[in-house]
Structure 1
């Protein structure tokens, strides 16, 4: 943790929001505001806000038992989604009036189907209605037109929930609100590049933006930025974490406790989730369609060459000195991409380590520590 004489932990409010993940949504619900829970970074939270609802990012917990997931889900579901499924079906998210799942990966789509079937098979398990936002990420005009229509369908469902039409003025205001949150994260990420913010804290800030709501998050993040901007940078090997998403900061903390710095990441719960702002000043549904079609990072995006190029751009911009590829236990996509990405790093003399088939619930921390130590020893002089 980076310290400041005036405030020993400038991230205290952010840490609290990251730890109490449903607290703000619970307060909104108690005040009579509808709550819409959502998954991932490809759900248009702007529409949720414009409908007058509170957007709550869903996340798993590796400490949770998942008996229903073990009984009803296929064996190859990622650990974090098994936990999310368990939480939904067991009632953890019953404070929500609606759940939105984007089709940003096959596992997200399958989760939606399994939840629909679970409702039929287990009528005694009460959980909110689940709707699919069928977003696609191929860079074609026809895809954009399809996403536009899916946005209109989701808009109609949210209007029903809120009991009123969502007009352009409300949607434009919501876009500005969410953009401010993303911009605040961008500014904090710039401090991370300067080694003034730890990677673990930046990961917490990214998650807190989804738990606390964009408006409250922007205020917290700006306050933290004001205190951290004047701190002296830390030393240590500059690392990137790439691959599977992280819904807790344990691995980042391990890396940084060893003396390295996570100055960049490339996964769907990291900096790529706030890399782009939604265009303001244009027709709002069109702006959202373009954003969520082209700029919402996914586990599998087309064309892969473009994603690899952006990966290397981040490596070079952040002056990364080593990359930790973090492979999920049931991931079936990263193995196809890794060889080319490692080759691109090798060409530049940047060492890397491949942490293969990492368990979500019972990770081998000793093995992870040994791998990171070995990577740090390979730092180019």
Structure 2
């Protein structure tokens, strides 16, 4: 069982190594004192919560933990885990591994990423003592992406047939891959019986949402979230890997995103505008947590590119949303 953190971890390789991969999430309602002690309160509270939950055993027994360098908070989390394992072996921290994928549009970056992906595959093979079935794993994950894209289409219908909260749960269900695929197929086969949601349609941009708290707050206020551009939502399945080899996998993660911590404002604005129009959104909502400033920098360009009413929820507490501001958008 391998826990992973970040959008750039090539989960296909974990599947190829016959590991049960679980993306680790925080808990806004839990005490984060342990994580605060080692990371400091200036780091994104999601990372601090994940570290706290690791130290208190909330995830159960993990054999390894893989961390992506998708943002500064993830990198700080990796360094903390590495040092904790070195100086406090009794803390029970699993062995960490860093996957350092970059997103600059250069050939040298592509070569760098291919080397890092290859090293990760070699490490997994050494951990397991078996060759990796990369082609089979890529095909399985691409099939799940295809099904998730079809499920996302239900949410984009007018009226929406799924709420944002429901879709977030469907897309991130912590299930073995074959079971997840089977349930997605079942959901699609029963789509005709889903209820219609006649509410104001929101496109959510900004930081990651690893829990449903913010979705629940926004939708309880009379909205329905029909799309998003963070790594737990639509971007996680918008493109497929295709070829079942390490070259294709490295290229897939090289072009991933664009996510707020690793993209230019212009890239984010163009992507957000296209995605929000595809969802027929009535309102653009930007969300930035305390300790995660990048989304707020992008928001003016995103609002200008889209041209619909827009609200920025800035400096929000982890898992909280000041929904009063949604009632009078600019």
Q: 1:113 Cα deviation (Å)?
A: 0.9
- Residues 1:338 and 2:299 are matched in the alignment: yes
Residue 62 of structure 2 is aligned with which of 73, 78, 96? 96
Rounded to whole Å, the distance in 2 between the matches of 1:94 and 1:257 is 32
Name the counterpart of 1:226: 189
Name the counterpart of 2:201: 238
Rounded to whole Å, the distance in 2 between the matches of 1:94 and 1:152 is 29
Q: 1:258 Cα deviation (Å)?
A: 2.6
Question: How many residues matched?
Answer: 328
Structure whose CA Rg is larger = 1
Contact 2:147 / 2:185 at 8 angstroms: preserved in 1? yes
Please, which moves more after superposition, 212-221 or 283-292? 212-221
Can you list the C-alpha shifts for 1:199-224, whole angstroms capped at 9, x where unaligned? Answer: 1111111211xx11322211111211
Name the counterpart of 1:76: 42
Can you list the C-alpha shifts for 1:104-151, whole angstroms capped at 9, x where unaligned? Answer: 112111111121122234232012100001111112111111111111
Rounded to whole Å, the distance in 2 between the matches of 1:150 and 1:291 is 13
Q: 1:374 Cα deviation (Å)?
A: 2.8
Name the counterpart of 1:199: 164
Can you list the C-alpha shifts for 1:40-73, whole angstroms capped at 9, x where unaligned? Answer: 2211111111112111111111122122212121
- Residues 1:142 and 2:108 are matched in the alignment: yes
**SS state of the match for residue 343, structure 1?**
helix
**SS state of the match for residue 314, structure 2?**
strand
Cα 1:57–1:297 change in 2 (3 A) is: farther
Rounded to whole Å, the distance in 2 between the matches of 1:90 and 1:254 is 28
Q: 1:297 Cα deviation (Å)?
A: 4.3
**SS state of the match for residue 65, structure 1?**
coil
Unaligned runs of 5+ in 1: 1-34
Contact 2:296 / 2:314 at 8 angstroms: preserved in 1? no
Q: 1:343 Cα deviation (Å)?
A: 2.2
Name the counterpart of 2:250: 289
Name the counterpart of 1:216: 179
Name the counterpart of 1:26: none
Q: 1:230 Cα deviation (Å)?
A: 4.9
Rounded to whole Å, the distance in 1 between the matches of 2:74 and 2:98 is 9
**SS state of the match for residue 315, structure 2?**
strand
Name the counterpart of 1:12: none
**SS state of the match for residue 267, structure 1?**
coil
Q: 1:91 Cα deviation (Å)?
A: 3.2
Residue 64 of structure 1 is aligned with which of 27, 30, 47? 30
Unaligned runs of 5+ in 2: none
Cα 1:67–1:156 change in 2 (3 A) is: same
Please, which moves more after superposition, 335-344 or 324-333? 335-344
Rounded to whole Å, the distance in 2 between the matches of 1:371 and 1:50 is 46
Rounded to whole Å, the distance in 2 between the matches of 1:248 and 1:332 is 19
**SS state of the match for residue 89, structure 2?**
coil
Can you list the C-alpha shifts for 1:239-269, whole angstroms capped at 9, x where unaligned? Answer: 1111121122122222222322211112122
Please, which moves more after superposition, 144-153 or 64-73? 64-73
Contact 2:286 / 2:313 at 8 angstroms: preserved in 1? yes
Name the counterpart of 2:6: 40
Can you list the C-alpha shifts for 1:258-311, whole angstroms capped at 9, x where unaligned? Answer: 32221111212211111111113xx61011000011124433234442232111
Rounded to whole Å, the distance in 1 between the matches of 2:258 and 2:6 is 10
Rounded to whole Å, the distance in 1 between the matches of 2:218 and 2:59 is 32
Query: TM-score, normalised on structure 2?
Result: 0.93
Contact 1:91 / 1:127 at 8 angstroms: preserved in 2? no
